[in-house]
């Protein structure tokens, strides 16, 4: 289209160009007739025009070209745009497709995520289930282990019990064997018993013989003892007789001694009385001696005192000489002392009065001081007033002078007036004025005199005040001099004392404070000590009952502790024994482990087995007894076992109990008679031989 348009434009432009070309021609043509100046000019102009037209055409063509190019460009642009739009559309479509795909993918992802979550949850649940199952499994495992352990323990117990049963069976067997051996022993012992019985009978007979002989011997012994006693007595009697003889021989000597002793006795009694008298005398003398000694001591003391008193007296007498007073007796001394005391009292009174007067004077002084001040002030005021009044007086005097001058002047004037005027109408007035002036004068004079009197009074008062002030000052000075003199008198004596006393007071006060503080502290400590239960061991003691609850409780505690220790030790020993012995203990300890059912059953079995054993033993014994008696009766031989495999046969018809002729041993089937082997068998058969022996013995018995 564009090309077509371009072509049409080209054509149009060509057409226009042609027209243009033709037009200038026409214009040229047209102009030709118009102008006739010069054809050159016209040509020139035409050429110019043509050139212009050509330029125009060229420009136009260039324009057209440009427009063409532009159109081409536009076309190309449009094409590109279209293509781009197409591409854009396609790309947008692709985009949308992609977006859709994206959405789908996202949805898928979400679905997958959900599935994943579900799967995870399922997984977690499965894990938890797994864990639970594992735990269960472990628990079951533990239970299984426990059961296994228990089973093992039970097995152990069973094995132990089996061992026990085996041991018990062994014990049963041992006991059975023991039983059989014991039976055999019993038989042997019975035989021994018979033998012993026979011996016993012999022995008893001999014993009786012995006893009879013993009795006779004892009788003879008794007789012997009696005889010996009589002998002894007789010997004693003989000894006594000898002693008596000796004593009798001593008798006269004793009598002599008795006499002597009696004499001595009387003598001693006399001397005893003398002794007592002498003792009393000595006691009396001793007491006198003591008294005399005491008296001597007192005398010495008294002499010493007398010397002292003499010294004192001399001193007292010397005092009179030393002091220069008229003293001969102590009365004078006392009188002097009294006088001195009186003087002292007087002086003290004077002192007190002086002090009081000083104080009163001081008070008066102090009281007068303000009065003085007041008076001074008043004096000053009066002075001021006087000065004022002096000044007033001077002013008044000046005024008076002025007034007098005025008066003189006025008088002069009046005189002049009077002189000038003979009779005037003004004379009453002048007279009035004169009177007034005179009145004024008088007033002024009176005023003046009053002022002068006041002045004089004030001056007198001031003078009197001055005098008083002077008097008071003189008195003050006198008092001050007195005070100073007193103080001078006293300071010499008392200044030192006062200062020392003040120092002492200060020290004592500080000490007192310190002591008070210490006292407080000690009291607090004591209170605290008392509260805590302390006491002064010097004044108090602490007691309590011996059987008090605390001691009883402590004792009980120690006992409990001891008991617990003992039990502990016992338990430890038990434990050790159990660990070492492995079960049963035969001491005072018993099994700690609670006996299980099996052990109880086994014990019961054991007891029943023992009972059975015993019963069997009894039964066996009975049976064997029966059997043996049956054998003895039926076969005619009593068969006893002496040694293992050796049997002793005793026949029924044996004459003596110990006539056991036959000894048989089963091992070698030999038969001995009284120690020698018997090889003679009746047809080498023992029973036949034995029966032959019985027949023989029976025949012997019946015959004898």
Partner 1 sequence: MSKTLKGITLKGSAELVAEFFSFGINSILYQRGIYPAETFTRVTQYDMSLHLTTDAKLKNYLTNVVSQLKEWLFDCTVQKLVVVITCLETNEVLERWQFDIECDKTANESSAPREKSIKAIQEEIRSVIRQITATVTFLPLLETACAFDLLIYTDKDLEVPEQWEESGPQLIDQSEEVRLRSFTTSIHKVNSMVAYKRTNSI
Only one of the segments 232-240, 490-498, 549-557, 614-622 lies at the binding site for partner 1 (rule: CB under 8 A); that segment is 549-557
At its nearest, how many Å lie between partner 1 and the CB of residue 530? 8
Q: Cα angle vertex 680, ends 674, 681, to 5°? A: 110
Residue 671: beta bridge partners? 664
**Among residues 492, 547, 593, 703, the one that binds partner 1 under rule CB under 8 A:** 547
Closer Cβ to partner 1, 564 or 591, answer by number: 564
Closest to partner 1 by CB, 266 vs 539, is 539
CB of 320 to partner 1, least distance (A): 58
Q: Please identify which residue in 266, 419, 423, 532 interacts with partner 1, judged by CB under 8 A.
A: 532
Stretch that binds partner 1, among 50-58, 224-232, 337-345, 528-536 (CB under 8 A): 528-536
CB-count burial class (<10 Å; 0-12, 13-18, 19+) for 346: exposed
The residue assigned the tokens 């505690």 is 557
Identify which of 212, 297, 195, 103 has the alpha carbon closest to the alpha carbon of residue 656.
195
Cβ count near 332 (within 10 Å)? 13
Asked if 164 and 581 touch (Cβ cutoff 8 Å), the reply is: no
- Alpha carbons within 13 A on the beta-carbon side of 380: 5
Q: Which of 284, 409, 534, 595 binds partner 1 (CB under 8 A)?
A: 534
Shortest reach from residue 560's CB to partner 1, in Å: 10
**H-run or E-run covering 677:** strand 676-677
Selected binder of partner 1 within 543, 593, 634, 666 (CB under 8 A)? 543
Exactly one of 34, 370, 428, 533 binds partner 1 (CB under 8 A); that residue is: 533
Of 324, 549, 675, 687, the residue at the interface with partner 1 (CB under 8 A) is 549
Interface with partner 1: number of residues (CB under 8 A) = 26
CA distance 498 to 484: 18
In the complex, least distance from residue 521 CB atom to partner 1, rounded to whole angstroms = 18
| Options 4, 542, 666, 703; binder of partner 1; rule CB under 8 A | 542
Give the range of 185-193, 498-506, 536-544, 693-701 binding partner 1 by CB under 8 A. 536-544
Whose Cβ is closer to partner 1: residue 213's or residue 558's? Answer: 558
Q: Does 525 bind partner 1 (CB under 8 A)?
A: no
Strand order from edge to edge, sheet including 676-677: 637-643, 646-651, 662-665, 670-673, 676-677
User: Alpha-carbon distance 61 to 51, whole Å?
Assistant: 14
Least Å from the CB of residue 540 to partner 1: 5
| Residue from 544, 590, 668, 680 in contact with partner 1 (CB under 8 A) | 544
The DSSP result for 80-145, as a single string, is HHHHHHHHHHHHHHHHHHHHHHHHHHHHHHHHHHHHHHHHHHHHHHHHHHHHHHHHHHHHHHHHHH
Long-range contacts of 642-649 (CB under 8 A, 24+ apart): 642/188, 649/690
548 lies in the binding site for partner 1 (CB under 8 A): yes
Q: Is residue 252 part of the contact set for partner 1 (CB under 8 A)?
A: no
Three-point CA angle 629, 630, 631, nearest 5°: 90
> Of the ranges 35-43, 47-55, 552-560, 694-702, which one interacts with partner 1 (CB under 8 A)?
552-560
Q: Assess 603 for contact with partner 1 (CB under 8 A).
A: no
Asked whether position 531 contacts partner 1 by CB under 8 A, the answer is yes
Q: Cβ closer to partner 1: 423 or 540? A: 540
CB of 536 to partner 1, least distance (A): 9
Which of the ranges 46-54, 301-309, 526-534, 681-689 carries the binding residues for partner 1, by CB under 8 A? Answer: 526-534
Instruction: Using alpha carbons only, give the angle 609, 611, 617 rounded to the nearest 5 degrees.
Output: 100
Task: Give yes or no for a contact between 124 and 564, defined as CB atoms under 8 angstroms apart.
Answer: no
Which 8-state DSSP code applies to residue 491?
A: I
- Closest alpha carbon to 71 in 119, 121, 12, 6: 6
With 0-12 CB in 10 A as exposed, 13-18 as middle and 19+ as buried, what is 542? exposed
Closer residue to partner 1 in complex, CB, 391/563: 563
Q: Is 704 in the site for partner 1 (CB under 8 A)?
A: no
Contact 386, 462 (CB under 8 A): yes
For residue 593, state whether it binds partner 1 (rule: CB under 8 A): no
553 near partner 1, rule: CB under 8 A: yes
In whole angstroms, the minimum distance from the beta carbon of 522 to partner 1 comes to 18
Comparison of 553 and 674: residue with beta carbon closer to partner 1: 553
Q: Which candidate, 671, 682, 668, 632, places its Cα nearest to that of 652?
A: 632
Using an 8 Å Cβ cutoff, are 400 and 408 in contact? no
CB of 572 to partner 1, least distance (A): 24
What whole-number distance in Å separates Cα of residue 688 and Cα of residue 677? 17
Task: Say whether residue 256 binds partner 1 (CB under 8 A).
Answer: no
Residue nearer to partner 1 on the CB measure, 492 or 531: 531
Cβ-based nearer residue to partner 1, 366 or 546: 546
551 binds partner 1 (CB under 8 A): yes
Part in contact with partner 1 (CB under 8 A); list of ranges 152-160, 541-549, 609-617, 650-658: 541-549
Site for partner 1 in 16-45 (CB under 8 A): none
Q: Is 557 in the site for partner 1 (CB under 8 A)?
A: yes
Q: Cα–Cα distance between 146 and 149 in angstroms, integer?
A: 5
Of 253 and 536, the one with the shorter C-beta distance to partner 1 is 536
Stretch that binds partner 1, among 185-193, 246-254, 478-486, 544-552 (CB under 8 A): 544-552
For partner 1, the closer CB: 324 or 533: 533
Q: Which is nearer to partner 1, 294 or 528 (CB)?
A: 528
By beta-carbon proximity to partner 1, the closer residue of 544 and 656 is 544
Among 554, 572, 576, 623, binds partner 1 (CB under 8 A): 554
* Region from 112-120, 223-231, 414-422, 545-553 binding partner 1, contact rule CB under 8 A: 545-553
> Whose Cβ is closer to partner 1: residue 435's or residue 554's?
554
Q: Return the half-sphere exposure (C-beta side, CA atoms, 13 A cut-off) of residue 286.
A: 6
DSSP secondary structure of 404-463: HHHHHHHHHHHHHHHHH-SS-TTHHHHHHHHHHHHHHHHHHHHHHHHHHHHHHHHHHHHH
Which two three-digit tokens encode residue 319?
Answer: 């005092």
Residue from the set 352, 426, 535, 669 that interacts with partner 1 by CB under 8 A:
535
Q: To the nearest whole angstrom, how small is the minimum distance from the Cβ of residue 506 to partner 1?
A: 40
Nearer to partner 1, 249 or 547 (CB): 547
Among residues 111, 206, 528, 570, the one that binds partner 1 under rule CB under 8 A: 528
Which residue from 82, 106, 109, 113 is spatially nearest to 98, judged by alpha carbons? 106
Residue 408 CA to residue 135 CA, distance in Å, equals 160
For residue 410, the number of C-alpha atoms closer than 13 Å in the C-beta half-sphere is 15
Stretch that binds partner 1, among 126-134, 330-338, 430-438, 551-559 (CB under 8 A): 551-559
H helix or E strand, kind and range, residue 75: helix 39-323
Q: Select 542 or 634, whichever has its Cβ closest to partner 1.
A: 542
Nearest distance, CB of residue 550 and partner 1, angstroms? 4
Residues in the chain: 704
Q: Give the binding site for partner 1 (CB under 8 A).
A: 528, 530-535, 537-554, 557
């Amino acid at each position: 289209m564009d090309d077509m348009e371009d072509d049409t434009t080209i054509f149009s432009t060509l057409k226009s160009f042609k027209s243009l070309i033709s037009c200038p021609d026409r214009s040229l043509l047209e102009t030709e007739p118009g102008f006739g100046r010069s054809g050159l000019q016209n040509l020139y102009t035409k050429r110019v025009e043509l050139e212009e037209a050509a330029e125009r055409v060229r420009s136009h063509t260039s324009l057209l070209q440009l427009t063409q190019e532009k159109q081409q460009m536009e076309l190309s642009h449009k094409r590109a745009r279209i293509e781009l739009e197409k591409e854009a559309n396609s790309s947008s479509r692709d985009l949308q497709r992609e977006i859709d795909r994206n959405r789908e993918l996202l949805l898928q992802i979400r679905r997958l995520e959900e599935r994943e979550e579900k799967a995870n949850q399922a997984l977690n649940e499965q894990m938890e289930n797994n864990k639970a199952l594992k735990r269960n499994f472990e628990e079951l495992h533990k239970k299984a282990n426990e059961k296994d352990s228990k089973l093992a323990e039970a097995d152990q117990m069973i094995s132990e019990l089996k061992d026990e049963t085996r041991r018990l069976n062994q014990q049963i067997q041992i006991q059975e064997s023991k039983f059989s051996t014991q039976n055999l022993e019993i038989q042997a012992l019975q035989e021994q018993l018979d033998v012993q019985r026979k011996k016993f009978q012999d022995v008893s007979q001999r014993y009786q013989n012995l006893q009879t002989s013993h009795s006779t011997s004892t009788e003879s012994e008794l007789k012997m003892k009696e005889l010996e006693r009589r002998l002894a007595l007789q010997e004693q009697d003989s000894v006594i007789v000898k002693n008596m003889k000796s004593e009798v021989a001593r008798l006269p000597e004793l009598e002599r001694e008795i006499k002597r002793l009696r004499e001595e006795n009387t003598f001693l009694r006399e001397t005893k009385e003398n002794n007592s008298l002498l003792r009393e005398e000595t006691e009396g003398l001793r007491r006198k001696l003591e008294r005399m000694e005491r008296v001597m001591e007192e005398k010495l003391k008294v002499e010493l005192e007398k010397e002292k008193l003499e010294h004192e007296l001399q001193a007292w007498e010397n005092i009179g000489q030393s002091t220069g007073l008229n003293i001969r007796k102590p009365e004078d001394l006392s009188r002097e002392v009294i006088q001195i005391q009186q003087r002292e009292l007087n002086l003290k009174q004077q002192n007190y009065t002086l002090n009081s007067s000083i104080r009163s004077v001081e008070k008066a002084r102090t009281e007068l001081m303000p009065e003085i001040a007041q008076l001074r002030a008043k004096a000053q005021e009066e002075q001021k007033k006087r000065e004022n009044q002096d000044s007033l007086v001077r002013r008044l005097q000046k005024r008076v002078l002025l007034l007098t001058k005025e008066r003189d002047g006025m008088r002069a004037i009046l005189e002049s007036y009077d002189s000038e005027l003979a009779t005037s109408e003004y004379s009453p007035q002048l007279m009035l004025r004169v009177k007034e002036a005179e009145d004024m004068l008088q007033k002024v004079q009176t005023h003046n005199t009053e002022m002068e009197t006041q002045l004089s009074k004030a001056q007198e008062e001031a003078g009197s005040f001055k005098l008083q002030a002077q008097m008071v000052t003189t008195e003050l000075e006198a008092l001050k001099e007195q005070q100073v003199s007193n103080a001078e008198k006293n300071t010499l004596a008392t200044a030192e004392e006062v200062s020392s006393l003040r120092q002492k007071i200060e020290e004592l006060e500080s000490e007192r404070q310190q002591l008070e503080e210490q006292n407080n502290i000690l009291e607090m400590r004591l209170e605290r000590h008392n509260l805590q239960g302390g006491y002064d061991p010097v004044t108090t003691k602490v007691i309590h009952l011996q059987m008090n609850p605390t001691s009883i409780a402590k004792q009980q505690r120690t006992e409990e502790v001891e008991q617990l220790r003992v039990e502990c030790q016992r338990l430890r020993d038990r434990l050790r024994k159990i660990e070492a012995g492995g079960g049963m203990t035969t001491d005072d300890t018993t099994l700690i482990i609670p006996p299980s059912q099996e052990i109880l059953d086994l014990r019961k079995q054991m007891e029943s087995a023992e009972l059975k054993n015993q019963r069997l033993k009894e039964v066996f014994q009975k049976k064997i007894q029966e059997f043996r008696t049956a054998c003895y009766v039926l076969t005619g031989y009593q068969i006893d076992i002496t040694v293992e495999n050796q049997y002793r046969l005793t026949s029924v018809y044996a004459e003596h109990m110990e006539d056991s002729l036959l000894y048989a041993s089963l091992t070698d089937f030999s038969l001995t008679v009284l120690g020698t082997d018997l090889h003679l068998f009746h047809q080498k058969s023992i029973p036949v031989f034995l029966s032959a022996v019985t027949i023989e013995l029976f025949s012997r018995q019946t015959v004898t």
